[in-house]
Chain A
Amino acid sequence: MNPVLHIKNLQVSYYTDSGRATALDNVSLSLNAGEKLGLVGESGSGKSTMALAMMRMIKQPGRIEGGQVFVDDEDLLELSDEEMLKARLSRIAYIPQGAMNSLNPVMRIGAQMIDAIKAHEPKAAKADMEERCKQTLESVDLKRSVFKMYAHELSGGMKQRVCIAISILLKPKVIIADEPTSALDVVTQRQVMETIDRVQKQIGAAVILIGHDMGLMAQFVDKVAVMYAGRLSEVSSVRQMFTEPKHPYATALINSLPSLDNKGVFQGIPGLAPSLLRLPSGCTFHPRCSRVMDVCKTVRPDPMKLSSGQIVACHLYAEGA
């Protein structure tokens, strides 16, 4: 079965006054329909850039410099501007971080949902569109009356669910949820995550969940991808990531999670994430790696697939290491 999402060698840089910052360095990733991937990493690791690049929303001074993003075997990066407009929301949808301000304050919710449909299906009948919107609202556990309301009349969780509703209106193949719960309280977080879970099952989309809350990830995704300094370190199933992570960075992340047994002792990762303007040679993690070898300082490790099915970019696992 062909993966519904296939990212190949994605390369994104930002050209600043201080030089060129490599935000995504040759990143490849695949996802099947119905799968849920959690994309984790520190700030600046490139996860949000990845989302923007997939939606082709990278703005100056950023530039997509290479790679392909296949959704259903069609490379989004090759589409014309017009076609890309059509592809957004209908093939690949984005749920924004912080829905607090993502809804137009002077338009009713319904109007914002309808203009999304209208942009893709200009000939649709008004009554049909309205009905579709209202049903979608119900599917995310919102009342039909929300259709007529304004954004400020809704709570944070409700607004986030409206954004989710909008994202599934056209039944896209891929949904990117960019830290959808960061501004919410724990109870609402759970509600929102369950909603995403449910709608995903309804339309069978592939979901990429971006965030840095590993605990939340663990409960909802199938696979976890760890990014560091613009490169992919490891991709494993949830179970594997939490029980036998392979990449030293991923391992350190898992170890740093506080657990009920190990109260009071916090294990951080020494050092700082590198500036994207001056990445270390070889493996970008080598200055902070507890198991660094000589080869790590000069040769960049390519991602490779292990027998366990995990993908790692680390010299520790190279054949004959």
Chain B
Amino acid sequence: MATIAVSQPQLRQPSKLTLMLRYLRRNKSMVFGLLILLFLVGFTVIGLLTVDTKDAYPLSVRGKQEPSLKYPLGTDFFGRDMLAAMVVGMWQTALIGVLAGGLGTLIGVVLGFISAYFGGILDALIKGICQILTPIPAFLIQVVLAGSLDKRSVTIYTMAFVVVLLAWMAPTLVIRSQVLSMKERQFVSVAKLSGVGDLGIIFGEILPNLLPFIVAAFVGQVFVAVFGSFYLSVLGLGPLREPLMGNLIWAAQGQSAFFNGWWWWPIWPSLAMVLILSSLALINMGMDEIANPRVRRSE
């Protein structure tokens, strides 16, 4: 009569590490982005440990020095040791990025979630606010805001705050749409039927599936934060004493650095910014693939 199925021999599954490495080989943008990021992080960490951070501020060392053994990246007009400035600047940029990025993502996750999960008027309200605020040129408002602040109260933390103010809408909408589609999917209904409470569903079912999107949103927010803080500081609206890359460039422009022959002054911050933003853009692109698996297949 009926035969019992013979159990299948165990499939030889390649190890998780192998799978990840094979995937990384196909997702080159992610790899490059991570490599650059690694380099930057290494530079910053080693720098913080070896360099005297006081030298990053004006009137610390002799000014207008070309790069030499003593000052490998030269010094600027105001007496900053460029090497120290770069190290401290990178650290501060990272701080702003992570703080603002984290805050923006947090707001996005919370609001997007509430909006999608509970629906109704709350949803309409949150969605409406996001949509209305989106066409407003965020950077411009940030410029106005930063410009209105008392110059003494501008710190890297206030900058981070200013940047987050108009950046949270995008992750909110993304998370919201993801949660909406998940709500309809069967695993939620099944969990509900099994008697799992609301909290259980949120943390047990939905959040784990949202993870790739949350990470992608975070990277995006960090990018926006670093970009935004750069724009603000390059207009001279940042905390001027701090050696933020944008500040350095703004000061250099103000002193016509290129035309005075102090090429190293704006170049290092420019290069650093290019590296930071490129690595973030690459990682963003790489995350794009992870969140949208079909992109993977086409490579």
List residues of chain A with CB under 8 Å of any chain B CB.
17-19, 270-272, 274-275, 277-278, 280, 287-290, 292
Contact = CB atoms under 8 A, between A and B. Distances in A.
Contacts, number: 35
Dominant SS at the B interface? loop
Given A17-B19, A17-B22, A270 B2 contact: yes
Contacts of A271: 3-5
B27 to A, nearest CB: 14
A58 B246 CA distance: 53
Contacts of A289: 3
Contacts of B13: 18
Given A17-B14, A17-B19, A17-B22, A270 B4 contact: yes
Contact of B12 (A19, A274, A288): A19
A280 B9 CA distance: 9
A292 B11 contact: no
A293 to B, nearest CB: 12
B1 A290 contact: yes
Interface residues of B, number: 14
B43 to A, nearest CB: 36
B186 interface: no
B8 to A, nearest CB: 6
Interface of B: 1-6, 8-9, 11-14, 19, 22
A63 to B, nearest CB: 16
Contacts of A280: 6
A31 B202 CA distance: 56
Nearest to A267: B2
Contacts of A288: 3, 5
B89 to A, nearest CB: 43
Contact of B9 (A17, A278, A292): A278
A292 B3 CA distance: 9
A278 B7 CA distance: 11
Nearest to A275: B8
- For B4, B5, B22, the residue with the greatest tally of chain A CB atoms inside 10 Å of its CB is B5
